[in-house]
């Protein structure tokens, strides 16, 4: 614990937060890439300094992904695509300081709830996670997709078709059962599949450029006038909203934790389910959704960062990565000769408490501090005249798509996605559902095929295990209440 | 050219229906698992069926819906001139993989940024200034600060 409180330890946290905020805010750079590039440095550091630095990087980077959503409509993570429209619209209707304030404060509170749960029940939750087999994972993916249908706030049929498009895009490349190449059209680059970060940059960022070229817009002055000070907008108003909507925050954070600890795309599904539940509650009424955009953002962000903490539960307790960041962290553990698992709780309490403490520091200080700085920068960027901002967005789209794999072909993929988004927008088809389909497609297909092969194609096996049945019932409840509230709203 | 949302929905319904059928045809040569169980074709076919079903519903909904549409329906405007500008924008951006090996990162991205700015009616000197400064900032940030090669 002494090395954690040394000046090196605190400097690692501060620099980690700064590094994470830079990475998260730039389209195409992700929390995973930030952590991966930090590994050579981590190798030479004491684990009590290296691991907290990684937590600081990932916590701040995941929040900073929302900066791209607010300024350029480019989400940093699939989870932030769940509330992209709301964040972008609110940033323009009010100010980015307010919208990103909700995002940062919601993330901070959600992250702290997630950390508390991590401390008190890591071993217990890990025991539940141990009971998850391919059947349960399949139902979790179905749950996420069902939530996605109602998360658009528009036509569920169009959201369904968008999901199908995302699922189809996820089948590009080698199939998980026989290793058979699908939809690669003779191009070796496509054998590895489509990267969803590249797809997101095209779907949300480049499509905006195309849209504005097509509309021939000269751009309006988006300068927002407000009498409140920047700290009031960033801290006071979002905190008041959190106090007013405390049950929403708690519910969303718990959803994030409950779904987020599952290895794979837990955090993403958690955010989608949380925003979807909030939108279902608002009944899919577009006017009402506009009035309550801040609540949708709050639901998504508090779930998002709660899941960041809960992704560490299987990593610490079972040695199973909850997401790509914790997968890298497990590598660092092994590099340092630390074996994760139940014994870690007895043998390395100092390390564990340093990790817990970092989660609190990241959420209590780093997120509000770096969040405020990035939000102020976003507030400046958003006031740049639109055509000039579009030049910057085009540059970032090309660089972001290329930098992911250092592959020039990805620039064309990004452009193709931009064109697809442009066409889908004309038909009123929602775009975030395409990303959700791309993220959940491989999880659903792989677990479905594994389940079917091991049960020798006995369909009943999907309905035999208690957790699988519970997940199926939750899915049915989401579908039922989603339809019910939509019908009720149409009638009124 | 103006089109009602109902017409756009029906047209997209037909396109998705055809797309679903194409997926079914394309996957007919995908191999099966042992004992004839479905393999790599299963998921794409399920998705294809989803498109067919969704397409059919989109096409028939206006016929079975009691809502009178045509006149009150929101109209979308399509302009061939703007579509031409869009194609030029795509063409310019698509040049990047070709020109990057010759002009390098800074040269090619600056050129594309300038051309996009020009297309968006930005004054040429301002487009050049923004494109070049943005490129230099991105290059410095990625290469020197974050250690990501470009």
User: Which residue in chain B is spatially nearest to A392 when comparing CA positions?
Assistant: B134
Of B43, B116, B135, the CB nearest to A171: B43
| Structural domain boundaries, residue B139 | 80-145
Examine residue B45 and state whether it is found in any structural domain, yes or no. yes
Q: Where are the alpha helices (DSSP H) in A152-265?
A: 156-170, 196-200, 207-215, 230-231, 237-244, 246-260
pLDDT at B114 over 90: yes
* H/E element, A174: strand A173-174
Q: Which residue has the tokens 């169009």?
A: A158
Examine residue B85 and state whether it is found in any structural domain, yes or no. yes
Radius of gyration of chain A (CA): 21
B47 with B84, same domain?
no
Answer whether A18 touches B (CB < 8 Å).
no
Binary contact (B89, A213; C-beta < 8 A): yes
Number of domains in chain B: 2
Of A182, A206, A397, the CB nearest to B44: A182
Angle at CA of residue A73, ends A259 and A479, nearest 5°: 40
Residues forming a β-bridge with A181: A174
- Whether A140 contacts A269, CB under 8 Å: yes
Answer whether A408 touches B (CB < 8 Å).
yes
User: Which residue in chain B is spatially nearest to A401 when comparing CA positions?
Assistant: B150
**Mean pLDDT value of segment B126-145:** 89
Q: Is the dihedral of CA B111, B115, B120, B121 positive or negative?
A: positive
pLDDT confidence of residue A19: 86
pLDDT confidence of residue A491: 65
Binary contact (B113, A394; C-beta < 8 A): yes
Which chain A residues are Cβ-neighbours of B30 within 8 angstroms?
180, 182
Q: Distance between terminal CA atoms of chain A?
A: 60
Helices (H) and strands (E) in chain A, counts: 24, 2
Examine residue A312 and state whether it is found in any structural domain, yes or no. yes
Binary contact (B97, A412; C-beta < 8 A): yes
Answer whether A392 touches B (CB < 8 Å).
yes
Q: pLDDT, tens digit, for every residue of B55-70?
A: 999 999 888 776 545 5
Residues forming a β-bridge with B76: B3
Query: How many CB atoms are located within 10 Å of the residue A233 CB?
Result: 22
Of B16, B27, B148, the CB nearest to A403: B148
The Cα–Cα gap between A490 and A155 comes to 12
- Whether A194 contacts B84, CB under 8 Å: no
Examine residue A1 and state whether it is found in any structural domain, yes or no. no
Examine residue B64 and state whether it is found in any structural domain, yes or no. yes
B112 with B133, same domain?
yes
B93 with B65, same domain?
no
Our CA-based measurement puts residue B97 at a distance from the nearest CA of chain A, in whole angstroms, of 5
| Structural domain boundaries, residue A31 | 7-491
Residue A215 gets the label, from left (phi > 0), alpha (psi -120 to 50) or beta, of alpha
User: Which residue in chain A is spatially nearest to B8 when comparing CA positions?
Assistant: A427
Which chain B residues are Cβ-neighbours of A419 within 8 angstroms?
90
The Cα–Cα gap between B16 and A257 comes to 37
pLDDT confidence of residue B64: 77
pLDDT confidence of residue B41: 92
Binary contact (B147, A182; C-beta < 8 A): no
Binary contact (A415, B5; C-beta < 8 A): no
B48 with B26, same domain?
yes
B23-48: buried (b, 16+ CB within 10 Å) or exposed (e) per residue?
beeebeebeebeeeebbbbbbbbebb
Number of domains in chain A: 1
pLDDT confidence of residue A266: 59
pLDDT mean values, one per 10 residues, chain A (492 residues): 69 86 75 75 77 83 84 78 86 87 91 87 71 85 83 81 94 90 88 85 88 72 59 89 91 83 66 81 63 86 84 74 72 76 76 83 86 85 82 88 87 94 90 85 90 88 88 86 74 61
The Cα–Cα gap between B23 and A54 comes to 43
Q: Are strands A173-174 and B75-77 parallel, antiparallel or unpaired?
A: unpaired
B9 with B64, same domain?
yes
B66 with B113, same domain?
no
Answer whether B94 touches A (CB < 8 Å).
yes
Length of chain A: 492
Our CA-based measurement puts residue A377 at a distance from the nearest CA of chain B, in whole angstroms, of 15
Our CA-based measurement puts residue A22 at a distance from the nearest CA of chain B, in whole angstroms, of 9
Which chain A residues are Cβ-neighbours of B148 within 8 angstroms?
29, 33, 37, 403
Examine residue A253 and state whether it is found in any structural domain, yes or no. yes
Which residues are CB-contacts of A40 (< 8 A; sequence separation ≥ 6)?
none
Binary contact (B120, A206; C-beta < 8 A): no
Phi/psi at A349 (nearest 5 deg)? -60, -30
* H/E element, B108: helix B96-119
Our CA-based measurement puts residue B48 at a distance from the nearest CA of chain A, in whole angstroms, of 8
pLDDT confidence of residue B5: 79
B140 with B87, same domain?
yes
Our CA-based measurement puts residue A320 at a distance from the nearest CA of chain B, in whole angstroms, of 28
Of B31, B82, B112, the CB nearest to A394: B112
pLDDT confidence of residue B110: 94
CB proximity under 8 Å: B 8-47 to A:
8-9, 12, 16, 23, 26-27, 30-31, 33, 37, 39-40, 42-44, 47
Binary contact (B39, A183; C-beta < 8 A): no
Which chain B residues are Cβ-neighbours of A175 within 8 angstroms?
39-40, 43
Our CA-based measurement puts residue A255 at a distance from the nearest CA of chain B, in whole angstroms, of 28
Of the three residues B23, B54, B77, the one that is the final residue of a domain is B77
Q: Which residue has the tokens 């189809």?
A: A168
pLDDT confidence of residue A410: 92
Interface test with A, best of B3, B11, B43, B56 (most A CBs within 10 A): B43
B22 with B73, same domain?
yes
- Whether B113 contacts B135, CB under 8 Å: yes
The Cα–Cα gap between A387 and A215 comes to 12
Angle at CA of residue A346, ends A340 and A351, nearest 5°: 65
CB proximity under 8 Å: A 437-466 to B:
441, 445, 448-449, 452-453, 457
Which chain B residues are Cβ-neighbours of A19 within 8 angstroms?
146
**Mean pLDDT value of segment B90-113:** 93
pLDDT confidence of residue B24: 95
Count chain A–chain B contacts defined by CB atoms under 8 A: 163
Of the three residues B19, B43, B77, the one that is the final residue of a domain is B77
- Whether A233 contacts A103, CB under 8 Å: no
B25 with B43, same domain?
yes
Of B61, B127, B149, the CB nearest to A391: B127
Interface test with A, best of B148, B149, B150 (most A CBs within 10 A): B148
pLDDT confidence of residue A166: 93
Which chain A residues are Cβ-neighbours of B113 within 8 angstroms?
391-392, 394-395
B40 with B89, same domain?
no
ipTM score here? 0.91
- Whether A4 contacts A48, CB under 8 Å: yes
Examine residue B150 and state whether it is found in any structural domain, yes or no. no
Examine residue B65 and state whether it is found in any structural domain, yes or no. yes
B19 with B65, same domain?
yes
B66 with B90, same domain?
no
Examine residue B25 and state whether it is found in any structural domain, yes or no. yes
Examine residue A447 and state whether it is found in any structural domain, yes or no. yes
Interface test with B, best of A391, A407, A414, A440 (most B CBs within 10 A): A391
Binary contact (B117, A391; C-beta < 8 A): yes
Q: Distance between terminal CA atoms of chain B?
A: 43
The Cα–Cα gap between A300 and B119 comes to 37
Of the three residues B43, B77, B111, the one that is the final residue of a domain is B77
pLDDT at B123 over 80: yes
Binary contact (A178, B31; C-beta < 8 A): yes
């Amino acid at each position: 614990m002494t090395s954690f409180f040394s000046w090196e330890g605190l400097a690692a946290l501060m620099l980690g937060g700064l590094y994470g905020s830079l990475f998260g805010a730039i389209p195409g750079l992700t929390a995973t890439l930030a952590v991966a590039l930090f590994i050579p440095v981590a190798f030479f550091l004491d684990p009590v300094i290296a691991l907290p630095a990684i937590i600081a990087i990932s916590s701040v980077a995941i929040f900073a992904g929302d900066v791209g959503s607010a300024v350029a409509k480019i989400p940093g993570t699939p989870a932030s695509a769940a509330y992209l429209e709301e964040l972008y619209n609110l940033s323009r209707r009010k100010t980015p300081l307010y919208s990103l304030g909700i995002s940062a404060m919601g993330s901070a509170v959600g992250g702290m709830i997630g950390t508390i749960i991590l401390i008190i029940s890591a071993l217990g939750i890990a025991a539940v996670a141990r009971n998850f087999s391919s059947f349960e994972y399949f139902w979790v993916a179905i749950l996420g997709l069902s939530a996605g249908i109602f998360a658009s706030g528009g036509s569920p049929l169009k959201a369904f078709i968008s999901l199908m498009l995302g699922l189809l895009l996820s089948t590009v490349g080698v199939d998980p059962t026989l290793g058979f190449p699908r939809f690669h059209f003779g191009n070796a680059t496509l054998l590895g599949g489509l990267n969803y970060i590249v797809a997101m940059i095209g779907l949300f960022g480049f499509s905006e450029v195309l849209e504005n070229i097509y509309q021939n817009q000269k751009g309006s002055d988006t300068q927002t006038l407000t009498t409140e000070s920047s700290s009031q907008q960033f801290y006071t108003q979002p905190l008041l909203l959190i106090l007013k909507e405390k049950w929403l925050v708690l519910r969303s954070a718990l959803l994030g934790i409950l779904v987020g600890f599952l290895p794979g795309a837990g955090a993403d599904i958690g955010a989608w389910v949380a925003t979807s539940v909030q939108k279902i509650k608002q009944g899919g009424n577009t006017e009402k959704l506009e009035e309550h955009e801040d609540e949708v953002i709050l639901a998504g962000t508090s779930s998002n960062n709660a899941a960041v903490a809960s992704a560490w539960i299987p990593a610490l307790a079972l040695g199973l990565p909850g997401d790509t960041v914790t997968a890298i962290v497990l590598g660092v553990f092994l590099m340092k000769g630390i074996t994760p698992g139940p014994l870690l709780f007895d043998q390395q309490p100092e390390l564990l408490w340093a990790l817990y403490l970092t989660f609190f520091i990241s959420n209590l200080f780093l997120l509000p501090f770096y969040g405020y700085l990035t939000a102020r920068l976003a507030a400046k960027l958003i006031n740049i005249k639109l055509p000039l901002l579009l030049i910057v967005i085009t540059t970032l789209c090309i660089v972001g798509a290329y930098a992911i794999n250092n592959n020039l072909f990805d620039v064309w993929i990004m452009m193709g996605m931009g064109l697809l988004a442009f066409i889908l927008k004309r038909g009123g088809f929602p775009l975030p559902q395409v990303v959700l389909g791309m993220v959940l497609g491989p999880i659903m297909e792989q677990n479905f095929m594994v389940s079917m092969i091991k049960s020798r194609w006995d369909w009943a096996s999907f309905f035999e295990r208690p957790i699988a049945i519970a997940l199926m019932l939750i899915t049915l409840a989401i579908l039922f209440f989603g339809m019910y509230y939509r019908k009720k709203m149409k009638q009124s | 050219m103006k089109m009602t949302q109902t017409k756009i929905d029906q047209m997209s319904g037909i396109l998705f229906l055809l797309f679903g059928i194409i997926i079914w045809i394309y996957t007919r040569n995908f191999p099966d698992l042992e004992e004839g169980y479905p393999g790599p074709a299963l998921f794409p076919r399920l998705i294809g069926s989803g498109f067919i079903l969704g397409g059919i519903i989109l096409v028939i909904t206006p016929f079975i819906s009691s809502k009178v549409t045509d006149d009150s329906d929101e109209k979308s405007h399509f302009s061939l001139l703007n579509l031409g500008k869009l194609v030029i924008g795509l063409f310019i951006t698509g040049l990047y993989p070709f020109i990057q090996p010759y002009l390098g990162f800074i040269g090619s991205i600056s050129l594309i940024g300038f051309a996009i700015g020009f297309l968006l009616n930005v004054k040429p000197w301002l487009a050049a200034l923004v494109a070049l400064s943005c490129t230099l900032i991105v290059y410095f940030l990625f290469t020197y600060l974050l250690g990501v090669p470009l």
